Amino acid sequence: MVIKIRFERRVSPPKYLSILYVIISILSAFFVSGFIFKAYGINPILAYRIIFTHAYGSPSGIYETIVKAIPLILCSVGLSLAFKAEMWNIGAEGQLLLGAIMATGLALFTPTPPSIIVPVMFIGGFMAGALWAVIPAILKVLLNVNEVITTMMMNYIAIELVRYLIYGPWRGAKEWGYPITDEIPDAAKLICIPGTRIHIPTLAIAISTAFIVYLIIMRTTLGYEIRVAGENPEAARYAGISYLKISILSMIISGGLAGIAGVGEIAGIHYRLRYPESISMGYGFTSIIVAWLGRLNPISIIIASIFFGGLLVGGYVMKMILGLPVAVVYVFNGITLMFILVGGVLSQYKIKLRG
Amino acid sequence: MEQYIVEMRNIVKRFPEVLANDHITFKVKAGEVHALLGENGAGKTTLMNILYGIYSADEGEIYINGRKVQISSPRDAINLGIGMVHQHFMLIDTLTVLENIALSLEIPFWKPLDKIRIKVEEVMKKYGLKVDLDAKIWQLSTGEKQRVEIIKIICRGAQILILDEPTSVLTPTETKELFKFLRKMASEGKAIIFVTHKLKEVMEVSDRVTVLRKGKVIATLETSETNERMLAKMMVGRDVIFELEKTPSIIGDPILKVEKLRVLNDRGTIAVKDVSFTVHSGEIYGIAGVAGNGQRELVEAIVGLRRKISGKIFINGIEIEKLNPRDIGEMEIAFIPEDRRMGYIPNMSVAENLILRSYNKAPFSKWMLLNYNAIKEYAQKLIDEYKIVTPNENVMAKLLSGGNLQRMILARELTIGKKLIIAVHPTYGLDVGSTEYVRKLLLKRRNEGSAVLLISEDLDEILALSDRIAVMFEGEIIGEVEAEKANIEKIGLMMAGVKEGE
Amino acid sequence: MQSYIETLLYSAIRAGTPLLIATIGEIYAERSGVMNLGVEGMMIMGAVTGYMVTYMFNDPWIGILAAIIVGGLISLIHAFLSITLRVNQVVSGLSLTMLGLGLSSIMGKKYVGISLPVTIIPIKIPILSEIPIIGPSLFSQDPIVYISMILAIIMWIILFKTSFGMKIRAVGENPAAADSAGINVFMIRYICVLIGGMLSGLAGAYLSESYTPAWIENLTAGIGWIVIGLTIFSLWNPLRALWGSYFFGGIRALQFRLQPLGISPNILAMLPYASTIIVLSIGAKETIRKRIGAPSALGKPYIREEKY
């Protein structure tokens, strides 16, 4: 008995419907992930309670959540922009690492005066991340090379680059053979809110960028050009908008913002370059989900970043207390993304079944 | 009572915005050519798609040869002996003609197509349809592609043939051949359903005609008992005046001059071969010709979307190397593209679409900031002037109907482009009302002194609007005549490549 | 010198085999019009499954079977999302990769560092393996290598010489036309995605059971993405995938051989990834020149009900 599925487009989907579906998606993901907890003999409800109280229930938890949210906001804003221009940038991870490398390099190995080291790091990090993104961008625009693959490859190259540096030329003189660099000088360390690890300058940049980028897209001629070019490159060409210019510009911004996130992680948290997995625990991938959810809306991006940041904190808690590997977060992210996709379709179409 | 080979009873089909088929009952006899007549959007293609299994009806029943059937996929339709030649060809470009035909037949797992080849050659011989079986589809002309579609359905043993607007891609000669072929099919006892919006063709080839309007059947008549005027009135719902009033206008300076222009197409072969012509202010210069003979490349070269490899283009007397699309605005050129999808952005608002050409100029923007008040005012003015039907200017453009989309594009273009108007198939797919509107508007501009370059496959349109007519075939201008001296036969021959004096 | 070349070729073929297997699968999926970016996730799930099952049952071939099944199951999810529900194929594939990476990490936790009691043993083909150079490198491999070579040829034949292959290509070029000709577009796409998933699982199992053979976190290290690049580079042709995969296998082999020269292993590790980018860029020019391209409908969901 064949069941036929028919799709009927909803004429004007009410806004609350998409929010509703997002919430349902996340709850469903929790539900399905619960089975994994069960498989390890852990009561899912207990597990979730632990995660939530630790991530959001205590002041220190919330501070840590915000710490994780900062790079997420930066990367997601950049990704939303790139996606809007139809550039599938999967390389935020690598671009972040390049920013981290640049920050460490500037702080440790250049004679930059302490008074300006912090802004120099941020600018340098932006440029490094932008460079990392622009290479795949140029290949896409000139040779039509698929940017999903090239940005992904750049991620792996960046990871190896960090490893090379910490094992090799940048290995710390003072660190007894561990593969990490020396600590950066105090002048290069970012100011934090006392009692927390929240590095203020990056937080400020993150939040303001979210709003600024939104305003640029909606209210300026540049934003108009980006929207047109992303929607209909043919029409854009006819209107005199250079698809080349727009694609490259959006990738520069996207990579640059990720680079700034990398600077923040080094100058605000780690104070040195170390294992790439310690610097970025999947910020690149997670921010894809946030960008997909937030779609350039700064409020949505900030809320989603806090939520997923909390999950990352929860991941560590699970490792400490419950003995589960941190990778559980990846599982949850993957399932959430799937459900969000399904929810997206459901909010746009009514599905009718006929037996 | 004669038995009907196809009976569609009380068919209802709803789409979210519209009731496409409203309790339609449609019956076809074996051995007849039955025309299904209606405007664009009347529901003809939808009805046929239901018969062919591409859509499923919400209500209603279908009977083939007196037996009730369920058609839920094209495979079912094919098995019932129904074959359809679609308006947009359903062919795989990278495969050969033989492979395309073979796709819908039962082929053995190992591909030897020899047996199929023999059968196809038989069919081609029997009906006089010639095409190179080993050519790849992308190499064929549109006429040849249609022939492949027809061979396809005959080889499948179709007893019921549906042709959806088949003549829109044919020259007059090819159309005559098609009609001869259809009558032969009918004489063999097959049922032919001929979907069209062209009244002349209905009168020429059909035995009976069913008129659809806004999803309902208005009437089913014997063709011999009706005429064009009656049919038009049923199709549109009111008396239609066919004649456009064209008064002689004052012809002024040459605005657009093209000299020995040569342009390549996407494949790198020559699409426009040393073309020369001039368009003056106050005249409409119409280029007739079946699509695919270089018209698109010609226009793209003029407006700066494609590089020319040799020749000269003069606009307002100034030689143009390669127009930056921005310059078009400066030079007051309006471009109405052939493919509506190129000309607008579905997911942006009507207002944002209307400023596509002028968004970075005052008063719409200053120092990179958009001035939404000015934009809103401008949009409302244009919506009013061009009578675009839309709740407001913030509605997303994709929700507009075809006719209103065209009005939006016209509004945007004609407000800026007063000197030179380049219009490519401007009324394609529009209902009668919108078509009338567009044609009247073009005439009005011409009377006001604009130079109009009109490119259209619709010969009636060219004849009705143009002051001078040229025909384009395989990249060349085959001939040029004054409108008064033009006659359809000669133009038809030119469209098929026969030069004057041959 | 001769033995140096022999061992180099030997390693190249071994290293290229998982690439070849997964690429053939992806070629089929993309030829039918569906982009499967979940290859990385399916490969690693195949790897961990193969490893676990081999350990539990003491038989590598049961492990292989299990990996194929698991890869297939995951690809069914992707098929359901992309074909039936018509979601964005890029994001759908990414989500499956995330899921696969996470899940495999959890599943494989217990097995890190434990070596397999049994692995797949190379077979020396009599007579042929005595031929100088080609013998030791080509004909002394383990059975999966031989299977993969035969697979490439068979899959090529199916794709270009049978009616089934023709239908696949039709669906990938113009699904509306294929539908109109009576071909079941959904079914063909499901089958092709399934083939892709099963072969990805197989490739992953080969990695963990024969090539390495061990389980470490992130065993695949981006091979799945290289596969997607290889699919493009081989112009969606299984025969071209053959020498493309061995070429990349050679780069992998070179990586290890250059290490003793003092070059940092990390710089060497960049080779496969950088080569992918370079190879794709060069290939892109060739594609433009020859005007061969991706299947026209690649990545676009097929919708029959929408007015066209």
Q: What is the DSSP string of B199-233?
A: HHHHHHH-SEEEEEETTEEEEEEEGGG--HHHHHH
* C102 closest CB neighbour out of A7, A149, A327: A327
pLDDT at A1: 40
Digit-coded pLDDT (tens) for A58-70:
888 888 899 999 9
Lowest mean pLDDT among A280-294, C14-28, C293-307: C293-307
| pLDDT (mean) for A200-218 | 91
Residues of chain A found within 8 Å of residue C288, distances taken between Cβ atoms: 143-144
The total domain count for chain C is 1
B377: CB partners within 8 A, 6+ apart: none
What's chain B's length in residues?
Answer: 502
pLDDT at A167: 86
Digit-coded pLDDT (tens) for A17-32:
777 888 888 888 888 8
A5 touches chain C (CB under 8 A): yes
Contact yes or no for B430/B236 (Cβ under 8 A) = no
Residues of chain B found within 8 Å of residue C308, distances taken between Cβ atoms: 88
B36: helix, strand or coil:
strand
| pLDDT (mean) for B32-45 | 86
Binary contact (A232, B342; C-beta < 8 A): yes
Considering only residues C282 and C213, tell me which one the structure prediction assigns the higher pLDDT: C282
Residues in B 23-62 with any Cβ partner in C closer than 8 A: 52, 54-55
Q: Please, is A271 exposed, middle or buried when counting C-beta atoms within 10 Å of its C-beta (0-12, 13-18, 19+)?
A: buried
Considering only residues A213 and A181, tell me which one the structure prediction assigns the higher pLDDT: A213
**Where along chain B do its domains lie?**
4-236, 247-323+447-502
* B359 closest CB neighbour out of A9, A11, A224: A224
Q: State yes or no: pLDDT of B452 exceeds 90.
A: yes
The pairing of strands B208-213 and B216-222 is: antiparallel
Residue of C nearest to B87 (CA): C308
DSSP string, A51-91: HHIIIIISHHHHHHHHHHHHHHHHHHHHHHHHHHTT-----
- Nearest-CA distance from C219 to chain A in Å? 13
A108 touches chain C (CB under 8 A): no
* Closest listed residue to residue C29, CA positions, set C216, C205, C236, C183: C236
Binary contact (B348, A228; C-beta < 8 A): yes
B92 touches chain C (CB under 8 A): yes
pLDDT at B111: 65
Binary contact (B54, C177; C-beta < 8 A): no
pLDDT at B1: 47
Q: State yes or no: pLDDT of A208 exceeds 90.
A: yes
C182 touches chain B (CB under 8 A): yes
A36 touches chain C (CB under 8 A): yes
pLDDT at C308: 32
pLDDT range class, residue A4, cuts 50, 70, 90: low
Reported ipTM: 0.86
* Domain containing residue C165: 2-114+130-290
C187 touches chain B (CB under 8 A): no
Could you identify the residue written with the tokens 């958009």? B370
C110 touches chain B (CB under 8 A): no
pLDDT range class, residue C42, cuts 50, 70, 90: very high
pLDDT at B87: 79
Lowest mean pLDDT among A71-75, B114-118, B147-151, B340-344: B340-344
* Closest listed residue to residue B119, CA positions, set B132, B103, B102, B136: B102
Residues A197 and A200: their CA atoms lie apart, in Å, by 9
Binary contact (B360, A220; C-beta < 8 A): no
Q: Please, is C158 exposed, middle or buried when counting C-beta atoms within 10 Å of its C-beta (0-12, 13-18, 19+)?
A: middle
Tokens of C72: 């297939």
Q: State yes or no: pLDDT of B417 exceeds 60.
A: yes
Binary contact (A231, B347; C-beta < 8 A): yes
Tokens of A261: 């996130």
- Nearest-CA distance from C299 to chain B in Å? 17
Q: State yes or no: pLDDT of B328 exceeds 70.
A: no
| pLDDT (mean) for B326-341 | 77
* Closest listed residue to residue B283, CA positions, set B410, B460, B421, B459: B421
Residues C308 and C304: their CA atoms lie apart, in Å, by 9
* A288 closest CB neighbour out of C94, C229, C277: C94
Q: How far apart, in Å, are the Cα atoms of B318 and each of B254, B322, B326, B328, B329?
A: 11, 12, 16, 13, 15
pLDDT range class, residue A10, cuts 50, 70, 90: low
pLDDT at A197: 83
- Nearest-CA distance from B412 to chain C in Å? 26
pLDDT range class, residue C118, cuts 50, 70, 90: confident
Tokens of A113: 């005066």
Q: State yes or no: pLDDT of B192 exceeds 50.
A: yes
pLDDT at B500: 62
Contact yes or no for B476/B274 (Cβ under 8 A) = yes
pLDDT range class, residue C112, cuts 50, 70, 90: confident
pLDDT at A248: 93
Residues of chain B found within 8 Å of residue C170, distances taken between Cβ atoms: 92, 95, 103
Digit-coded pLDDT (tens) for C79-89:
999 998 888 88
Q: State yes or no: pLDDT of B238 exceeds 80.
A: no
Q: State yes or no: pLDDT of C307 exceeds 50.
A: no
Q: Which residues is B453 bridged to in the sheet?
A: B285, B422
Lowest mean pLDDT among B414-418, B447-451, C255-259, C290-294: C290-294
Interface of B with A (CB under 8 A): 16-17, 56, 72, 303, 305, 324-326, 335, 337, 341-348, 352, 356-357, 359-360, 365, 368-370, 372, 399
Domain annotation covers residue C307: no
Lowest mean pLDDT among A100-114, A160-174, B79-93, C209-223: C209-223
A16: helix, strand or coil:
helix
Residues of chain C found within 8 Å of residue B55, distances taken between Cβ atoms: 304-305
pLDDT range class, residue A13, cuts 50, 70, 90: low
Binary contact (C180, B84; C-beta < 8 A): yes
Rounded to 5°, the CA angle C282-C10-C265 comes to 65
DSSP letter assigned to residue B286: E
Residues B411 and B379: their CA atoms lie apart, in Å, by 9
Contact yes or no for B471/B445 (Cβ under 8 A) = no
pLDDT range class, residue B161, cuts 50, 70, 90: very high
A229 touches chain B (CB under 8 A): no
pLDDT range class, residue A96, cuts 50, 70, 90: very high
**Where along chain A do its domains lie?**
63-295
B3: CB partners within 8 A, 6+ apart: B29, B30, B65, B66
Domain annotation covers residue C97: yes
Residues in A 7-36 with any Cβ partner in B closer than 8 A: 8-11
User: Contact partners of B by the rule of 3+ C-beta pairs under 8 A?
Assistant: A, C
The CATH H-level (homologous superfamily) assignment of domain B247-323+447-502 is P-loop containing nucleotide triphosphate hydrolases (3.40.50.300)
- Nearest-CA distance from B200 to chain A in Å? 36
Q: State yes or no: pLDDT of B160 exceeds 70.
A: yes
Count of beta carbons in the 10 Å neighbourhood of residue A212: 13
Residues B366 and A217: their CA atoms lie apart, in Å, by 15
DSSP string, B64-94: ETTEEE---SHHHHHHTTEEEE-SS----TT
Residues A272 and A332: their CA atoms lie apart, in Å, by 30
Residues B179 and B184: their CA atoms lie apart, in Å, by 9
Domain annotation covers residue C24: yes
Binary contact (C281, A145; C-beta < 8 A): yes
Residues of chain C found within 8 Å of residue B78, distances taken between Cβ atoms: 181-182
* Closest listed residue to residue A68, CA positions, set A228, A265, A240, A225: A265
Of these ranges, A46-55, A292-301, B68-77, B262-271, the one predicted with the greatest mean pLDDT is B68-77
Kindly report the CATH number assigned to the domain that includes residue C76: 1.10.3470
User: Contact partners of A by the rule of 3+ C-beta pairs under 8 A?
Assistant: B, C
| pLDDT (mean) for B69-81 | 90
Single pTM value for the model: 0.86
Could you identify the residue written with the tokens 């250059």? C258
Listed in order, strand segments (DSSP E) in B384-495 are 420-424, 451-456, 468-473, 476-482
Binary contact (B356, A11; C-beta < 8 A): no
The percentage of residues in chain C with a pLDDT greater than 90, rounded to a whole number, is 41
pLDDT at C305: 56
| Element containing residue B258 per DSSP (H, E) | strand B254-264
Binary contact (C182, B74; C-beta < 8 A): yes
pLDDT at C288: 65
C281 touches chain A (CB under 8 A): yes
Q: State yes or no: pLDDT of A176 exceeds 80.
A: no
pLDDT at B243: 63
Lowest mean pLDDT among A271-275, A309-313, B105-109: B105-109
pLDDT at A3: 54
Q: State yes or no: pLDDT of C144 exceeds 60.
A: yes
| CATH architecture of structural domain B4-236 | 3-Layer(aba) Sandwich (3.40)
| pLDDT (mean) for B340-358 | 85
pLDDT at B388: 85
Can B4-236 and B247-323+447-502 be said to share one CATH topology?
yes
Residues A31 and A26: their CA atoms lie apart, in Å, by 9
Binary contact (C105, A288; C-beta < 8 A): no
Digit-coded pLDDT (tens) for B119-141:
888 888 888 788 888 888 888 87
The number of angstroms, rounded, from the C-alpha of B345 to the middle of its chain's C-alpha atoms is 21
pLDDT at C203: 94
- Rounded to the nearest integer, the mean pLDDT of chain B is 85
B374: helix, strand or coil:
helix
